[in-house]
């Protein structure tokens, strides 16, 4: 199965670029920028990646980013993941990034955008890897701040594909961000949101009703609401499910207990992604391999998951057609 999964052109719809920061690069950037880290070694950092829940992870995720200060750091961060992903057969990535997490530390939006856009261009030129840009907003920060940041990003609106909603889900319902998502729609941006990862199924319904999103990031808790399952099946709304993330953050105890097989049996439009590969045990190929082992899926299942992702990815239709042929030919 490994040679097949490696060769299969894979499409990743849910990836936080700051969550792709491997400890090795974190240490290199800390040294380059004179930033102190709370770990003595790469080994110690990896040992700290043992999470009880989403908040436990987010605390280290925001701390890890402290080494990202200059345009070149954002470029190196993204290229480090793009090179690894491309070598594993990933052909497209819709990339979330968190401007508020950098603005809060005094890192200007221009620095983040220039570094990430340069990496996108370099990947598209030299790796045959296309990249979608999802500017994500932190749901545990004030809604007014999110609106201000979206306006601050005006010079970059043309370069964005979508806005997203991430960070601590509990007690931060989608309804808090109705004005932000209405503004993004007015600007002409697509909209996606994390929902039903740790939060209840009702947050998935809210994201669909009140934020008018085209896909749901995670969404695994939809299984708690029969009417919602029927709706997601009927609308064929894409769910970007992140199997190893759900294990690492204890959304499920063990991958074999993961609801992915049931989500597929329900006829939902499922895709798989890595979320934060540096923190959760690996990238998109590793997630594919883990699912093959846990669920015994055959090649057809993996082809379909990637066709689902390709159909929804933020890319132009000419490239989509080429990549579809490549999936069909494997």
Ligand X SMILES: Nc1ncnc2[nH]cnc12
Residue 215 found at the interface with ligand X (CB under 6 A): no
Minimum distance between the CB of residue 34 and Zn ion, rounded to whole angstroms?
Answer: 30
Which residue, 69 or 259, is less far from Zn ion as judged by CB? 259
Residues near ligand X (CB under 6 A), total: 11
Give the shortest CB-232-to-Zn ion separation in angstroms: 18
Is residue 169 near Zn ion by the rule CB under 5 A? no
Binds 167, which of ligand X, Zn ion, none (CB < 5 to 8 A, cut-off by type)?
A: ligand X
Give the residue with the Cβ less far from ligand X, 73 or 276.
Answer: 276
Q: Which two tokens stand for residue 48?
A: 């700290």
- Going from the C-alpha of 289 to that of each of 43, 244, 294, 308, the distances in angstroms are 24, 11, 9, 18
Q: Nearest approach, Cβ of 167 to ligand X (angstroms)?
A: 5
User: Is 198 a binder of Zn ion (CB under 5 A)?
Assistant: no
List Cβ neighbours of 310 (8 Å cut-off, separation of 6 or more).
11, 92, 320, 323, 324, 327
Binding mask 269-308 for Zn ion (x = CB under 5 A): ------x---------------------------------
φ/ψ region of 171 (left if φ > 0, alpha if ψ in -120 to 50, else beta) reads left
CA 208/CA 213 separation, integer angstroms: 5
Provide the 8-state DSSP code for 181.
Answer: H
272 within 8 A of 44, measured Cβ to Cβ: no
Distances (CA, A) of 16 to 41, 58, 134, 179: 24, 12, 9, 24
Please select the residue that binds ligand X; options are 66, 276, 277, 327, rule is CB under 6 A. Answer: 276
284 near ligand X, rule: CB under 6 A: no
For ligand X, the binding residue among 17, 54, 290, 292 (CB under 6 A) is 54
Q: Is 16 in the site for ligand X (CB under 6 A)?
A: yes
Residue 92 contacts ligand X per CB under 6 A: no
**Integer Cα distance of 298 and 48 in angstroms:** 35
Annotation: binding site for Zn(2+): 14, 16, 194, 275
* Residues 160-179 close enough to bind ligand X by CB under 6 A: 166-167
Min dist CB 273 to Zn ion, Å, is 8
Q: Which does 137 bind (CB under 5 to 8 A by kind): Zn ion, ligand X, none?
A: none
- Measured from the Cβ of residue 43, the count of other Cβ atoms closer than 10 Å reads 10
Q: What angle do CA 160, 156, 138 make, to 5 degrees?
A: 65
Q: Are the C-beta atoms of residues 239 and 268 closer than 8 Å to each other?
A: yes
Residue 94 or 166: the one with the smaller Cβ distance to ligand X is: 166
Q: Which of residues 244 and 310 has its CB atom nearest to ligand X in the complex?
A: 244
CB of 232 to ligand X, least distance (A): 19
Q: How far apart are CA 26 and CA 12, in angstroms?
A: 23
Identify the active-site residue in 22, 169, 197, 198: 197
DSSP code of residue 96: E
Q: Are 118 and 126 in contact (CB under 8 A)?
A: no
Q: Is 31 a catalytic residue?
A: no
> 3-state DSSP call for residue 39?
coil
**Binding-site residues from annotation:** 14, 16, 194, 275-276
247-276 positions binding Zn ion, by CB under 5 A: 275
Alpha-carbon distances of 57 from 60, 86, 218, rounded to whole Å: 5, 26, 16
Instruction: Indicate which residues carry an active-site annotation.
Output: 197
Residues at the interface with ligand X (CB under 6 A)? 16, 19, 54, 61, 166-167, 194, 197, 245, 275-276
């Amino acid at each position: 199965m490994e040679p097949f999964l490696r060769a299969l052109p894979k499409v990743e719809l849910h990836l936080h670029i700051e969550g792709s920061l491997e400890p090795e690069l974190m240490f290199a950037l800390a040294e380059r920028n004179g930033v102190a880290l709370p770990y003595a070694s790469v080994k110690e950092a990896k040992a700290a990646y043992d999470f009880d829940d989403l908040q436990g992870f987010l605390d280290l995720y925001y701390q890890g980013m402290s080494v990202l200060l200059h345009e070149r750091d954002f470029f190196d961060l993204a290229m480090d993941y793009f090179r690894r992903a491309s070598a594993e057969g990933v052909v497209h990535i819709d990339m979330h990034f968190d401007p508020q997490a950098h603005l809060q530390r005094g890192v200007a939006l221009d620095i983040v955008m220039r570094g990430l856009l340069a990496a996108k261009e370099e990947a598209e030129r030299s790796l045959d890897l296309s990249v979608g840009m999802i500017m994500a907003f932190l749901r545990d920060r004030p809604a007014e701040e999110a609106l201000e940041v979206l306006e601050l990003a005006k010079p970059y609106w043309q370069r964005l594909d979508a806005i997203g909603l991430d960070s601590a889900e509990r007690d931060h319902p989608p309804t808090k961000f109705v004005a932000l998502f209405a503004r993004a729609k007015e600007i002409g941006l697509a909209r996606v949101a994390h929902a039903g990862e740790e939060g209840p199924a009702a947050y998935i319904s809210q994201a669909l009703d009140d934020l008018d999103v085209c896909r749901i990031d995670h969404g695994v808790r939809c299984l708690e609401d029969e009417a919602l399952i029927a709706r997601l099946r009927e609308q064929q709304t894409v769910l970007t499910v992140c199997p190893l993330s759900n294990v690492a953050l204890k959304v499920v105890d063990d991958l074999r207990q993961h609801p992915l097989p049931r989500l597929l049996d329900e006829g939902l439009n499922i895709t798989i992604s890595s979320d934060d590969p540096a923190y959760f045990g690996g990238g998109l190929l590793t997630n594919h391999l883990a699912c093959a082992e846990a669920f015994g899926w055959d090649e057809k299942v993996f082809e379909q998951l990637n066709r689902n992702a390709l159909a929804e990815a933020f890319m132009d239709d000419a490239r989509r057609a080429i990549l579809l042929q490549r999936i069909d030919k494997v």
